[in-house]
Structure 1
Amino acid sequence: MRQQTNKTENGRANPETINWDPQIYNYAERTGNLKAEAVGVVSGEKHFPVFEGRMVFKPLTKSKPLSTPLFAYAEVFWSWVIDAYFIPAPQYQLALCRGYEAECGKYYDYGTVSPMIYEEGEHLLNLLEFFRAYPDDKVQIDDYLNYCQMFYDYTEILEADYFQKNREIAENLAMQILISVLKGDQNYHYENIAFVCNASGQILRLAPMIDHEFSTYFMFPDNIQRHTYWLDELKRSIEGKSVRPEEYKDFPNEKERRLMEKSATCLYRNLIYIKEHYPEVTATFLENVSRLKRDLLQKRESFFIQKAKDYPDYANSDAYLIGKSRYKDHDEEKAAAYEKQYGREGKEISFDLMNCLINYEVQEIIEQMERILR
Structure 2
Amino acid sequence: MRQQENKKENFRENPTKLTWIPKVYNYAERTGNLKAEAVGVVSGEKHFPVFEDRMVFKPLTKSKPFSTPLFACAEVFWSWVIDTYFVPAPLYQLAFCRGYEAECEKYYDYGTVSPMIYEEGEHLLNLLEFFRTYPDEKVQIDDYLNYCQMFYDYTEILEADYFQTHRGIAEDLAMQILISVLKGDQNYHYENIAFVCDASGQILRLAPMIDHEFSTCFMFPDNLSRHNYWFGELQRSIEGKPVQPDEYKDFPNEKERRLMEKSATCLHRNLVYIKEHYPEVTASFLKNVSRLKRDLLQKRESFFIRKAKDYPGHANSDAYRIGKARYKDHDEEKAAAFEKQYGGEGKEISFDLMNCLINYEVQEIIEQMERILR
Give the equivalent residue in structure 2 for 1:309.
309
Pairwise CA distance, 1:15: 3.3
* Whole-angstrom CA distance in 2 between matches of 1:208 and 1:324: 29
In structure 2, relative to structure 1, the CA distance for the partners of 1:336 and 1:176 (3 Å cut) is: same
Amino acid at match of 1:42: V
Q: Secondary structure at the match of 2:335?
A: helix
Q: Which residue of 1 aligns with 2:58?
A: 58
Deviation for aligned residue 1:159:
0.1
Pairing of 1:268-287 with structure 2 (within 5 A): 268-287=268-287
Separation of aligned partners in 2, 1:185 and 1:167: 25
SS in 1 for 2:260: helix
- Partners of 1:27 and 1:49 within 8 A in 2: yes
Q: 1:319 to 1:31 in 2, by over 3 A?
A: same
Query: How far off is 1:14 after superposition?
Result: 4.4
Q: Which structure carries more helix by proportion?
A: 2
Taking the TM superposition and a 5 Å limit, the aligned residue runs for 1:260-339 are: 260-339=260-339
CA 16–34 in structure 1, closer or farther in 2 if over 3 Å, else same: closer
Partner of 1:136: 136
The CA distance in 2 between the partners of 1:106 and 1:13, in whole Å, is: 42
1:38 and 2:73 correspond: no
C-alpha distance in 2 between matches for 1:134 and 1:107: 35
5 Å matches for 1:1-374?
Answer: 12=12, 14-15=14-15, 17-374=17-374
CA distance in 2, matches of 1:176, 1:116: 19
Deviations 1:250-292 (A, max 9, x none): 0000000000000000000000000000000000000000000
> In structure 2, how many angstroms separate the alpha carbons of the residues matched to 1:182 and 1:8?
19
What letter corresponds to residue 104 of structure 1 in structure 2? C
| Cα distance in 1 for residues equivalent to 2:306 and 2:8 | 23
Unaligned runs of 5+ residues in structure 2 are 1-6
* Deviations 1:110-143 (CA, angstroms, capped at 9, x unpaired): 0000000000000000000000000000000000
CA gap 1:224/1:239 in 2 versus in 1, 3 angstroms: same
Instruction: Give the residue type in structure 1 aligned to 2:251.
Output: F
The runs of 4+ residues in structure 1 deviating greater than 2 Å are: 7-17
- 1:211 CA displacement: 0.1
Task: Summarize deviations over 1:203-239 as a string: whole Å, max 9, x none.
Answer: 0000000000000000000000000000000000000
Does the CA-based 8 Å contact 1:8-1:14 persist in structure 2? no
What residue in structure 2 maps to residue 4 of structure 1? none
| CA shift in 2, pair 1:343/1:14, >3 Å | farther
Contact 1:74 1:213 in 2 (8 A): yes
Residue 3 of structure 2 is matched in structure 1 by none
CA RMSD, Structure 1 to Structure 2 (Å): 1.1
TM-superposed CA distance for 1:345, in Å, is 1.2
Amino acid at match of 1:194: A
* TM-score normalised by structure 2 residue count: 0.97
SS state at 1:53 partner: helix
Query: How far, CA to CA, are the matches of 2:135 and 2:224 in structure 1?
Result: 43
Q: What TM-score comes out, normalization by structure 1 length?
A: 0.97
Would you say the 8 A contact 1:126–1:192 is kept in 2?
A: yes
Contact 2:16 2:84 in 1 (8 A): no
Inter-partner Cα distance in structure 2 for 1:17 and 1:127:
33
Change beyond 3 A, Cα 1:13–1:198:
farther
CA contact (8 A) 1:16 1:302 kept: no
Aligned to 1:3: none
Tell me how far 1:10 sits from its aligned partner.
7.0
Give the distance between the partners of 1:8 and 1:318, measured in 2 at CA: 39
3-state SS, counterpart of residue 322 of structure 1? helix
Q: CA deviation at 1:16?
A: 5.7
* C-alpha contact (below 8 Å) 1:326/1:332 kept by paired residues: yes
* 8 Å contact kept, 2:32–2:50: yes
Contact 1:17-1:303 at 8 Å conserved across structures? no
Instruction: State the secondary structure of the residue aligned to 2:53.
Output: coil
- Counterparts of 1:354 and 1:61, CA distance in 2: 22
Q: CA deviation at 1:151?
A: 0.1
Q: Distance in 2 between matches of 1:177 and 1:140?
A: 19
| 1:15 alignment partner, SS class | coil
Give the deviation of 1:352 after TM superposition. Answer: 0.3
- Cα deviation, residue 13, structure 1: 5.6
**2 CA distance for matches of 1:327 and 1:34?**
20
Q: 1:12: how far off?
A: 2.8
Counterpart of 1:298, as a letter, is Q
Alignment correspondent of 2:4: none
- The AA in structure 2 aligned to 1:359 is N
Q: Percent identity?
A: 88
